[in-house]
Amino acid sequence: MEAILFLIGIQEVGDFQTKYSKEQKQDLMHVAVCTLLSPSGYYELEMVDEEGWPHYRQLKTLPVFGIMEQENFMKDHILLYFETKDSNES
């Protein structure tokens, strides 16, 4: 799951490097989570800074889930993300 979030974050920021610091990896995964949960109304893109990093504003509280429910919740949003990406590129 972390690897997928990391790759989605890279795709969203568009900053392809060979090495990332631990903090950059965490930031990329955060961007991915915000991007994934935006269509469900949890986050809204607030701005993109001068370095191309998106900044999000949380609109509503995330539901409290157990580990398996949380993973399924994220998997559903990942699938929606890729379905939407595919239809936008066609």
Residue with structure tokens 């991007």?
35
Q: How many CB atoms lie within 10 A of CB 24?
A: 17
Q: What is the pLDDT of residue 89?
A: 64
Q: What element of type H or E holds 47?
A: strand 43-48
Higher pLDDT: 7 or 87? It is 7
Please give the angle made by the CA atoms of 1, 65 and 79, to the nearest 5 degrees: 40
Q: What is the pLDDT of residue 83?
A: 92
Q: Please list the alpha-helical segments (H only) found in the chain.
A: 2-13, 22-37, 67-89
Q: What digits encode the pLDDT tens for the residues 24-79? A: 999 999 999 999 999 999 999 999 999 889 999 999 999 999 999 999 999 999 99
pTM above 0.85, yes or no: yes
Alpha carbon 44 to chain centroid distance?
12
